[in-house]
Structure 1
Amino acid sequence: MTDNNTTIDWEKKWQESHTPWDAGESSPALVQFLKEHSDLLPIKGKGLVPGCGSGYDVVLFATPDRHMTGLDMSPTCIQQVKEKRGTGNGQYDFICDDFYKFQFPQGGYDMVYDYTFLCAMPLEMRPQWGKRMAEIIKPGGVLIALMYPLNDRSSQPPHTVSVPLFHELLDENFENIFLEDAIGHEDRIGDEKMSVWRRK
């Protein structure tokens, strides 16, 4: 990628197994958040993890009462994750589609989790990200966002994000109900915050 407007070929990266963002597990920050703040999540309903990659977070969030869907636009990614994860006895599934165009459930999602998804967007698409989140999350539902990276990066993804950016993109339709420093993967400590946004 040479500039902010160039689209990365994610399918090629998965075909070539060039996935340096894959840490082999869910972020420790998310695991800790679920232990300490599960009361901020819907107990039941439908959830989505866009840019789900290897599906760690989809499996982590899924319960018998909370069905999770992992979404990715790479056919190779989705094929691999389906072979590896299965369906968890119907507690989750994986679909290959475009986040901005896919048919979401009638009534919307009860929760969406974003981690390393917004930061992978071309910068000019960020306003669309905010509008789409408002479209697919039902009133009273939540967006859980593990903000990364908060420190300056190069022109290539992951693009830098910030707390003010999230407010800019979400405040019209969401209320920020949780925000704190996150202790995630060792190479990202000091570069992340966990946040929860409730749909108005």
Structure 2
Amino acid sequence: MDWQARYQVGDTPWDKGCVTPVLTELIGKNPFFFGESKRFFVPGCGFGYDALAIAETGSSVIGMDIAESAVKQAQRLESAERELSFVSGDIFELAENLYGRFDFVWEHTCFCALDPSLRSRYVEQMWKVLKQGGAVVGVFFINPDVAAGEGPPYGASREEIRALFASHFVLEWESEPKCCYEGREGREHVMLFRRLTDCREIDC
């Protein structure tokens, strides 16, 4: 998928123009995940709505997207009032200064946009950017049966997601979101995977 080309011509039907309601719900119910001492990485950040919502809790946030057009738009949200920045990049070619830097990865639409053959590498990369004790938290699409072009392109069952992350993480909790974009009811699942703290526990 040429994400840059899609953004350049405005062919972005997945973009809802606002923060996902799932994140708003999570911030309200679990405020202890957020705040001035927390650092978040947001892969596949798009126009930055979710990253902005996290930054407004006082958290430090870096959003990344492979599409430069999306990043340029998101950079308009940056200001001296919040620790929020956006960079263009490939999550499979991260700079080493990002490794071990973050408390949380916020996952929303990045995992599902990747070809399934890349999912194991995604899990490894998110393990690398997290501090010891850090976690991937996010909303996963378990039933992407939506209108053509709406996306996401690749779904995954709860069992598949658990199995993929088990190589580098421990599932700490999961839940069904009560707030969703219209039309996504019952198609999303919130999961938090805690990073295995010792590299010797895994084949890395």
Q: Could you state the TM-score of these two structures normalised by the residue count of structure 2? A: 0.85
Tell me the distance in 2 between the aligned counterparts of 1:60 and 1:166.
Answer: 25
Which residue in 1 is equivalent to 2:199?
Answer: none
Tell me the distance in 2 between the aligned counterparts of 1:153 and 1:127.
Answer: 25
In the alignment, structure 1 residue 187 sits paired with structure 2 residue 183 = yes
Moved over 3 A (4+): 40-43, 151-157
Q: How many percent of aligned residue pairs carry the same amino acid?
A: 24
Q: Is the 8 A contact 2:34 2:57 kept in 1?
A: no
**Aligned pairs for 1:46-65 within 5 A:** 46-63=39-56
Q: CA deviation at 1:123?
A: 1.5
Tell me the distance in 1 between the aligned counterparts of 2:40 and 2:172.
Answer: 18
Counterpart of 2:98 in 1: which secondary structure?
coil
Please point out which of 127, 140, 147 is paired with 1:147.
Answer: 140
For structure 2, which runs of at least 5 residues remain unmatched after alignment? 197-204
The alignment's C-alpha RMSD in Å is 2.2
Which residue in 2 is equivalent to 1:125?
Answer: 118
Q: CA deviation at 1:38?
A: 2.2
Q: CA deviation at 1:106?
A: 4.9
What is the aligned length? Answer: 192
For structure 1, which runs of at least 5 residues remain unmatched after alignment? 1-7
Task: Say which is worse superposed, 101-110 or 129-138, in terms of deviation.
Answer: 101-110
Corresponding letter in the other structure for 2:20: S
Corresponding letter in the other structure for 1:179: E
Tell me the distance in 1 between the aligned counterparts of 2:20 and 2:58.
Answer: 23
Q: Measured at CA, do residues 18 and 155 of structure 1 come closer, stay the same or move farther in structure 2, by a change above 3 Å?
A: closer
**Aligned pairs for 1:22-171 within 5 A:** 22-41=15-34, 44-63=37-56, 66-82=59-75, 84-87=76-79, 89-103=81-95, 104-151=97-144, 157-171=152-166
Q: Is the 8 A contact 2:112 2:155 kept in 1?
A: yes
Tell me the distance in 2 between the aligned counterparts of 1:106 and 1:114.
Answer: 17
Tell me the distance in 1 between the aligned counterparts of 2:35 and 2:14.
Answer: 28
Q: CA deviation at 1:87?
A: 3.1
